Each structure stands twice: as structure tokens, then as C-alpha cells.
A and B are shown apart, each in its own frame.
Chain A
Amino acid sequence: MDNKKVLAISITAVVVLVLALAATSYAMFSANLTGSKENELTTGYVTLNCTEKTFELENTSPMNDTEGIALENNAAECTLTSEMKGTMTIGYDIALDGVDTKTPEDGITEDNVKIQVSKTITEPEQGQLEYLLKTNNTEGIYVSTIKESKGQYDRSIDGYKLDSDTITGNKKIVYKIVAWVSNEQAENTRINDSNIVLDENGKCSNSSYTDKDTCENASEIWGDSKKSTQEGGTFSFKLKIGATQVLENN
């Protein structure tokens, strides 16, 4: 009985152990290999800046394009600088902002103010001056003609876009906007056109005479006067730039 018991226990134990061993030889293979190599990335940065020159031109007068372009103290400038550590493509729009918002009702509006727009890349290498929109070295365009041009990269720019471009790396781009009051409207307005209002019926060429006889006795001219007026006023604008990362998919 005891012997049998021992034998039975022994056999059971052996069987259990064999089973355990068999199971262990497979299940015990369990490897956890921790890598020793560190993979790392550190971030770069992108900074954009616009150094601006603004102008204040008072008491100017309507003029033609050549005169407007030659005028002094009528150029706004923005030197757009990008500094990049790392690689990124930035798309940006530059536009006029707050166009004539202060005095929209006066005589000087986007319909008679002209601009000439140019850009020059100055860094990393000095580039050629490039005229933008449909302007050139002798001609400007009315501000009103770009009223509907919307931003390509910045959707908040919903008009008056001057340029859209992309920028990568360290760069310096000078944007120059020359503005003047055009005289073309005045020139195209003819004094005897039907749209010119009659200024005064019965007027003397010397305003100190108020009746026909005294006027003519003084060798002045008595007649009807027609008048064309170019109302004065103020036009103002700011510059706005909106930039965003352009994700290139290729």
C-alpha cells in the first residue's frame, strides 16, 4: 500500500514535471529586448517680420503716372524678413488693408488713387526689381482695380491683394507701394460735358461784380458758368500680410 502510494506519487510527480518541462521549453521562451539606441529630433523655428516705412503726403494734387512715380515721400515699404531654422515652405499674401476707411466719402477714393507696386529680393542675393500687378516703371493702376483680389494663403484677406508668394529659408523681400492721386479722372471730365453741373446762371468773370451792366462796364465777361470740381480729401491704407505653412504633397 505504502509502496504503491510512493510509486503513484512518484509517477504523478514525474508526469507533472515532464508536462511542466514540455510546457516550459516553449512557454518559457519569452524575450524582452530593449533597444539602446536613442532616436531623437529637436525642433527648429520660423520667424517672419515686416519692417515698415509709412508716408504722410499732405496737400498733394492730382497728377499723371510719370509725375506720381517721380514724386517723393509717397512710397510705403515693407521689408519682409524670414528666418528659418529647419525647412518649411511658407505661403503668404500681402495686401492693402483698411483702404480709405477713415474718409470714404470724400473726393479722394480708391477710384482716383493710383499705386505702383514692386518687390525686390535683397537677401540671400540681391535680385532684380519686379513690378507687380499690371504696374511698370511708368504706369500705375487704380486701387479700385484690385478690390476683388483675394488672398491665396490667408482667406481672411478678401481684397486688395498685391502679391502671393512662397518663401523658404532665410530671405529678405522689399515691397514698395508708391501712391498718388491721379488726374486722369479730372482730365477725362470735360467742362462742357452734360454731366458737369451748371455752376451759376448770370455770373461775372470778376466775382466782385454781381450784375451784367457793372460787369460789362468793367470789361468783364457776363454769362453762364459751368464748373468741374475735383474734391479734395484723404486716402489712407495699411499693409497686411497673412502667412501660413504650405504642406507639400508629392
Chain B
Amino acid sequence: MFEEEPKENHRASFTILGIFVLLLTVVGVAIAAYTWTYTSNNANSISTGNISMSLLESTDTISIENALPMSDDKGKQLKNNGTFDFAVTTEASGQPGDINYKLSITEDNADSDYTLLNKEQVKVYLTVLTNNEDAENEVLETQVVKPTKVSDIITENSDNETGVLTFDEGQTQHLTHHHNKIGETITTKYRLRMWISDDVDASNWNESTKYQYKLKINASGSIDPIQ
């Protein structure tokens, strides 16, 4: 079969070339996987050749001044500068199946003349926004993370003051985007609220005690191979 040397050499070099090409492809994909692309001013995204995920953050962030302890019922009704909307979008040119992602929050440092509130003093609450099919311009909100103390999200074991939001039972489906059609774009819109827990003793707060809490939202996704 392998009688002719040159032929054999040729075959061997072809094989080697094939391996090299394959290697390059792998590396290429790997590089692509760590490339940030921005889909809008307020979004950052990451994509492979055919899969991308982006986090679009509203410019209307939560900016609450003079916050005082509040009941969950009141906190859930916060409006305007008490809410922060963001969207997670996944796009795939192929049909990679399920893209799973997680949402997490990261505590930020307080401004220089403020003292950071304790994590157990702040509660967050997350809803999914959907368009009401019956009424135009009306947005429906569905609770996906019940009012939860930040200390239950960013725990002592968390790295970099970041903790993953645990979705309520029965609401985890929002964390999976099913890409079963070619070239599909799937977006889930969220609304975050935060307030000071009603079990906080504010008796000693006064003009000179300045407390603050800051957090950011993150999204991280990965793909589940088609099964």
C-alpha cells in the first residue's frame, strides 16, 4: 500500500497540514470565545462565531436617596429611580440548543464619605418583564427572585463580593434560552429593585450618619450541548 516514498511523504505532510489547520481552528474558536463585542452603548457581549450573549443595561439605574427601612410589600412597588431594567440577549446563527445563564450581583465600594451598609440590611427583588399581549404598551412583571437579603446572595464563601441570584422555584426556566431555530435571537428583560430591609434599626441614623449600598448586575452563560 505504501510503496512510494514521496507519496508516503506527501500523505504524511497532508496529515500534518490537516492537524495544523484543525489546531488553528480550535485556537481561533478559543480566541473568539474571549472576544468582547458591544452590541450597543449600554451592552457588552461575547460571542463565538455563531453564538453571542449580551447584557443590555438601562441608563436609568437605581438611585435612591434618603432610603429608610421598608416592608417587602412597599419595596416590591418601588418605581422610577427605585428600579433598574436590564436585558439578557442570546443570539445564535446555528441551533446550539439550550444556552443557560446565571445572573449575579456584585457589591461595589461606597463613596468616600459614606459607610457601606451591611449586606443583611439590603434586600433585592427581581422580576421578568413581558409584554401584555392583551394591552399594548403594558408590561407584565413576574417575580423571579423573591425579596432576598443581599447577605443571602453574596455569602461569606462568595468570591469578589459577587453572588449568584437564586431564582424562585418554578421560575428557573427564564435562565435557559432554547435556540432550536437557526438564526434566533432570544431576549429576557429583567427589573431589579432594592431597598433597606424592614428589620433594620434606623433609630440611630441622623444627619451625620451616611450609609450607602451599591451593586452591579452580571450575567454569565454557557452552552449545553444538544443531546
Contact = CB atoms under 8 A, between A and B. Distances in A.
Q: Does A touch B (CB under 8 Å) in the complex?
A: yes
Interface of A: 3-4, 6-7, 10-11, 13-14, 17-18, 20-21, 24-47, 84-88, 245, 247-250
Contacts of B22: 14, 17-18, 21
Given A3-B2, A10-B15, A247 B86 contact: no
Interface string B16-29: 10110011011001
Contacts of B224: 26
A67 B199 CA distance: 50
Nearest to A6: B12
A86 B217 CA distance: 26
A17 B8 contact: no
Interface residues of B, number: 76
A40 B63 contact: yes
A37 B61 contact: yes
Contacts of A247: 69-71, 74, 198
A91 to B, nearest CB: 14
Given A33-B46, A37-B84, A85-B207, 8 more contacts: A7-B2, A7-B15, A26-B223, A29-B99, A35-B218, A36-B42, A86-B68, A249-B71
B45 A248 contact: no
B59 A37 contact: yes
Nearest to A243: B203
B64 A40 contact: yes
B23 A86 contact: no
Contacts, number: 204
A37 B30 contact: no
B108 to A, nearest CB: 6
Nearest to A31: B46
Contacts of B225: 26-27
Interface in B49-71: 51, 53-55, 57-59, 61-71
A209 B96 CA distance: 124
Contacts of B219: 31, 33, 35
B210 A41 contact: no
Nearest to B215: A39
A46 B59 contact: no
Given A31-B221, A33-B44, A40-B63, A45 B209 contact: yes
B71 A41 contact: no
B205 A3 contact: no
Contacts of A88: 68-69, 202
Contacts of B214: 38-40
B84 A39 contact: yes
Contacts of B154: none
A41 B33 contact: no
Given A14-B22, A45-B202, A30 B62 contact: no
The residue in A4, A18, A26 that gathers the most chain B C-beta atoms within 10 A of its C-beta is A26
Given A7-B11, A17-B26, A31-B53, A41 B44 contact: no
B122 interface: yes
Given A43-B66, A86-B68, A33 B218 contact: yes
Contact of B202 (A21, A46, A249): A46
Contacts of B212: 40-43
B51 A29 contact: yes
Interface string B89-133: 000000010010100001010000010010000100000000000
Given A26-B96, A34-B218, A35-B57, A45 B44 contact: no
B217 A35 contact: yes
Contacts of A42: 64-67, 114, 210-212
Contacts of A6: 12, 15
B196 A25 contact: no
Contacts of A40: 61-64, 108, 212-215
A28 B33 CA distance: 6
Given A31-B46, A33-B55, A43 B68 contact: yes
A12 to B, nearest CB: 10
Contacts of B169: none
Smallest CB-CB A-B distances: 10 pairs: A44-B66, A86-B66, A10-B15, A39-B62, A41-B64, A31-B46, A45-B205, A86-B68, A43-B211, A33-B55
Interface string B123-165: 0000000000000000000000000000000000000000000
Contact of B33 (A29, A33, A34, A248): A29
Contacts of A18: 22
